[in-house]
Structure 1
Amino acid sequence: MKNTSIKIIVWLLILLVGGCVDPYRPPEIASPGSYLVVNGFFNSAPGTTSTIKLSRSQNLTDTKAPTVETKAVVTIESQTKATFPLTESTAGTYTLAGVTAQSGEMYRLHVRTTTGTDYYSDYVPVIQTPPIDSVSWRIENNGVQINVNTHDPKNNTRYYRWEFDETWEYFTPYYSALELKNNQIVSRQFSVNQCWRSGSSTNIMTTSTTRLSQDVVSQFPLTFIQGNSSKLGVKYSILVRQFALSQSGFDYYDQLAKITQNIGSIFDPQPAQITGNLHCITNPAELALGFFRVGTIETKRIFISHSQLPNFYTITGYDGCSVDTLTAADIIKSQSAVIDLYDRSRYLTTSDFCVDCRLLGGVLTRPDFWK
Structure 2
Amino acid sequence: MKINKLIYITLLAVIVSCKKPYNPPIVSSDNHYLVVEGVINSGNDSTIINLSRTVKLSENVSTQLVANYTVAVEGEQGNSYALQSEGNGIYDIGPMHLDPSQKYRLHITTPDGKQYASDYEVVKQTPPIDSVGFTPKSNYLQIYANAHDATNNTRYYRWDYSETWRFHAKFQSGFIVDAGAVRLRHANEGIYYCYGNDKSSNIVLGSSEKLSQDVIFQGPITTISSDAEKLELRYSILLKQYALTKAGYQFWENLKKNTEQLGSIFDAQPTQLQGNIHNISDPTEPVIGYISITNPQSKRIYINKGQLPDNWIEKYPYECGMPDSAFFFHPMTGTNDVLFYIIQGGGIPVTGIFTPLGIAGYTYSSPDCADCTIRGKAQKPSFWIDN
Q: Is TM > 0.5 for Structure 1 vs Structure 2? A: yes
**Match in the other structure for 1:211:** 210
2:365 matches 1:350? yes
- Check the 8 A contact 2:41/2:95 in 1, yes or no: no
Q: 1:155 and 1:61 mapped to 2: Cα distance?
A: 48
1:126 and 1:185 map into 2 onto residues whose CA distance is 61
Q: CA deviation at 1:183?
A: 3.4
1:342 shift after superposition: 0.8
The one-letter code matched in structure 2 to 1:331 is V
Given the alignment, which residue of 325, 333, 342 partners 2:340?
333
Q: Distance in 1 between matches of 2:102 and 2:17?
A: 65
Alpha-carbon distance between aligned partners in 2 of 1:198 and 1:25, rounded to the nearest angstrom: 39
The secondary structure found in structure 1 opposite 2:173 is coil
How far 1:25 moved relative to its partner?
3.6
Aligned positions of 1:209-288 closer than 5 A: 209-288=208-287
Relative to 1, partners in 2 of residues 1:225 and 1:15: Cα closer, same or farther, differing over 3 Å?
Answer: closer
The equivalent residue for 2:30 is 32
CA distance in 1, matches of 2:150, 2:18: 61
User: Secondary structure of 1:109's partner?
Assistant: strand
User: Partners in 1 of 2:123 and 2:305 — Cα distance?
Assistant: 41
SS state of the match for residue 242, structure 1?
Answer: strand
Residue 180 of structure 1 corresponds to: 177
Q: Which stretches in structure 1 are left out of the alignment for 5+ residues?
A: 1-12
SS in 2 for 1:345: strand
Q: 2:21 corresponds to which letter in structure 1? A: V
Kindly indicate whether the alpha-carbon contact (under 8 Å) linking 1:233 and 1:316 is maintained by their aligned counterparts in 2. no
Which stretch shows the higher mean deviation, 175-184 or 159-168? Answer: 175-184
Amino acid across the alignment from 1:51? I
| 1:180/1:332 contact within 8 Å kept | no
- CA apart distance, 1:131: 0.5
Distance across 2 between alignment mates of 1:253 and 1:80: 29
Match of 2:22 in 1: 22
Say whether the 8 Å CA contact 1:340–1:349 is kept in structure 2: yes
Give SS of 1:22's match. coil
Structure-2 separation of matches of 1:246 and 1:126? 9
Matched residue SS, 1:289 = coil
Question: Do the aligned partners of residues 246 and 348 (structure 1) sit closer, same or farther apart at CA in structure 2, a change above 3 Å counting?
Answer: same
Which secondary structure does the structure 2 equivalent of 1:249 belong to?
helix
* Structure 1 residues 15 and 216: alpha-carbon distance in aligned structure 2, compared to 1, 3 A threshold: closer
Match of 1:85 in 2: 82
Whichever residue aligns with residue 22 of structure 1, its letter is Y
Distance 2:321 2:60 in 1: 33
Q: Distance in 2 between matches of 1:354 and 1:230?
A: 14
CA distance in 2, matches of 1:166, 1:64: 27
Partners of 2:179 and 2:321 lie apart in 1 by 25
Letter in 1 for 2:42: S
> What is the CA-CA distance between 1:68 and the residue it aligns to?
1.1
Match of 1:41 in 2: 39
Q: Percent identity?
A: 33
CA deviation string 1:9-36 (max 9, x = no partner): xxxx999867x53312464xx4432111
Q: What number of residue pairs does the alignment pair up?
A: 355
- The list of structure 1 runs, each at least 4 consecutive aligned residues, that deviate by more than 6 angstroms after superposition, is 13-18
Is residue 162 from structure 1 mapped to residue 159 from structure 2 by the alignment? yes
The equivalent residue for 2:6 is: none
Quote the residue 1:191 is aligned against.
190
CA change 1:204–1:98 in 2 (3 A) is closer
TM-score (norm 2): 0.87
Unaligned runs of 5+ in 2: 1-13, 329-335
Give the TM-score normalised by structure 1: 0.90
Q: What residue identity is the alignment partner of 1:132?
A: I
Partner of 1:363: 377
Range with bigger deviation, 313-322 or 132-141: 313-322
Report the alpha carbon displacement of residue 200 of structure 1 after superposing the two structures with TM.
Answer: 1.3
Given residue 362 of structure 2, which amino acid in structure 1 is its aligned partner? Y
Whichever residue aligns with residue 267 of structure 1, its letter is F
Contact 1:172/1:318 (<8 A) preserved: no
Deviating more after overlay: 327-336 vs 255-264 = 327-336
> What's the CA shift for 1:221?
0.7
Residue matched to 2:315 = 315
